[in-house]
Amino acid sequence: MFLARRELAFARTRFGLMGAVVALIAVLMVLLSGLSSGLVVDGVSGLLRSPIQAVAFAEGTRTDSAFTRSEVTSEQRDAWAAQPDVAEAELLGTSIVNAKNEDGTPVDLTLFGVEPGGFVSPAAADGRAVTDDGEVVLSTSARDLGIELGDVITLDRLGTTLEVVGFTADQRTFGHVDIAFLSLRTWQEVHAGAGPGDQLTPEAYQVASAVALRGPGGATPDLAAGDAAAGTSARTIEDAFDSSPGYSAELMTMQLIQAFLFAISALVVGAFFTLWTVQRTRELAVMRAIGASTRYLLTDGLMQAAILLVTAVGVGVAIGLGAGAALDGTGMPFALEAGPVTTGAALLLGLGLVGAAVATARIATVDPVTALGENR
C-alpha cells in the first residue's frame, strides 16, 4: 500500500482526471438506472401493483400487446375457476381510449374493466371504489391532468360518460397511460362500440381481454393444466409485462445502453492503468531488483485501482442520486430504486478492477535487469 498511496499523492492530477471520468460514468449509470426503473413503473405499474398472479389470454395471441389483442369468454373464465388450485378467476377488459375532461382537455386513458367488488378492483385512497356502471377510479397520477373527484369524462366517438368517484393510492399506468378502473359491463359496451342508449346482444357481455387469476395462499396456479381445460394461453403476471405496448423494446434498449456503459467503464479504466504501468516500468523494475515480489506489486497496483474506483464511484453515485432527486416530479418517467443502483455500482467497481487487473498483469513481465540500465 505504501507505493500505491505515494503514487496517488504524487500523480494526483492524473488520478484526479481519471477519477472524474469514472465519477461521470457512475452518474450516468445512476441516471440510466432511474430512467429504466421509471419506464417499468410508467409502463406496467398497473400490473406490477395489482394482486393478479397470472393472466390467461386467448390461445394463439401474439405476446406483444396481448392485452389489447386477446378476447376471452366467460366460459373460459368458468373453466379456470373450476381448477382446484385457482382461488379466484375474473374477466379483465383492457383498452386504450381517447377522452375529454369537462373543460375539453384531451385525456388518454387505459380502461381496465373489472368486476365491482372483485379482487382486481383497487381500493380508493381518495373517494370510493367502483360500485356501478358509468363510474371510474383513476390512477393518482391522473390528477396531474387536472382531473378531480366528481369530474365527468367523455370518451371520444362513443360519447360514453364516466364519473370519477375515486383515485388510487399510488400510480397505476399501463403503456405509459393512466388507468381508469370501471365496471366490466361498461367496458364491454365500450369494447363493442356502443354509445349511450345502444342495445347490445347478450353475447357482448360475455367477453373480455383476459382472465385474471389468483391462487390460494399466494401460490401460482398450474397454468398448463388450466390452459388445457380452458383453451387459453396463460402466463405469470411478470411474464405478462412483455404484453404491455412497447415494454420489451424500451427495456431492451435501456439494458443495451447500460451494457455498453459498463463495457466502456472497464475499457477506460484498463487503458488508463495500462498507460500508467508503462510509464512507471523503471520504478517497478527497481522494486523487483531490491526484492519486491510480483505478488506484492500486483496487489499494490490493484489496491491503487480499488482506492481510485471506490472513491470515484462513491462520488458519482452521490451526485447521480442528487440529480435524480431533482428530476423527481418533472414528469419524466424516472424512479430511483436501491437495487438497480447498488447493482450498477458493484458492476462498475468489479469491471473496473478487472480492467485494472489485466493492465497491471504487465508487472509480472518486468525484468529487474532494466533497473540496472542493461536495456541501454
Q: What confidence tens digit (pLDDT) does each residue in 306-351 have?
A: 888 899 999 999 999 998 888 876 667 788 888 889 998 998 888 8
Which of these three, 190, 225, 243, is where a domain ends? 243
Q: Which residues are 113's β-sheet partners?
A: 93, 182
The larger pLDDT score, comparing residue 251 to residue 227, is at 227
Residue 142 sits in the same domain as residue 3: no
Pick from 94-108, 118-132, 160-174, 288-302: least confident: 288-302
Give the structural domain span for 302. 1-44+248-374
The residue whose grid cell reads 447493482 is 343
Quote the CA–CA distance of 94 and 172 in Å, as a whole number: 13
Residue 122 sits in the same domain as residue 37: no
Residue 154 sits in the same domain as residue 234: yes
Do 217 and 77 contact (CB within 8 A), yes or no?
no
Pick from 20-24, 35-39, 205-209, 299-303: least confident: 299-303
Angle separating helix axes 247-279 and 281-289, nearest 10 degrees: 60
Residue 290 sits in the same domain as residue 222: no
Q: What is the pLDDT of residues 171-197, one digit of tens each?
A: 999 988 999 999 999 999 999 988 787
What pLDDT is recorded for position 62? Answer: 83
Residue 57 sits in the same domain as residue 170: yes
Residue 277 sits in the same domain as residue 213: no
What pLDDT is recorded for position 329? Answer: 66
Quote the CA–CA distance of 242 and 105 in Å, as a whole number: 31
Residue 372 has pLDDT above 60, yes or no: no
Mean pLDDT value across the chain: 86
Which of these three, 243, 267, 285, is where a domain ends? 243
What pLDDT is recorded for position 65? Answer: 79
Residue 68 — very low, low, confident or very high, per pLDDT cuts 50/70/90?
Answer: confident
Residue 301 sits in the same domain as residue 229: no
Do 160 and 180 contact (CB within 8 A), yes or no?
no
What pLDDT is recorded for position 370? Answer: 59
Residue 105 sits in the same domain as residue 232: yes
What is the average pLDDT across 157-167? 93
Number of domains composing the chain: 2
Cα dihedral sign, 144-244-249-172: positive
- Locate 111 and state its grid cell: 380502461
What pLDDT is recorded for position 11? Answer: 67
Residue 1 has pLDDT above 70, yes or no: no
The larger pLDDT score, comparing residue 299 to residue 153, is at 153
Residue 14 — very low, low, confident or very high, per pLDDT cuts 50/70/90?
Answer: confident
For residue 237, the tally of other CB atoms under 10 A from its CB is: 19
Residue 376 — very low, low, confident or very high, per pLDDT cuts 50/70/90?
Answer: very low
Residue 172 sits in the same domain as residue 207: yes
Residue 28 sits in the same domain as residue 70: no
Which of these three, 243, 263, 293, is where a domain ends? 243
Residue 255 has pLDDT above 90, yes or no: no
Residue 107 sits in the same domain as residue 183: yes
Closest C-alpha to 24, from 255, 327, 312 = 312
The larger pLDDT score, comparing residue 286 to residue 38, is at 38
Residue 132 sits in the same domain as residue 267: no
Residue 252 has pLDDT above 90, yes or no: no
Task: Give DSSP secondary structure letters for 321-338.
Answer: HHHHHHHTTSSS-----H
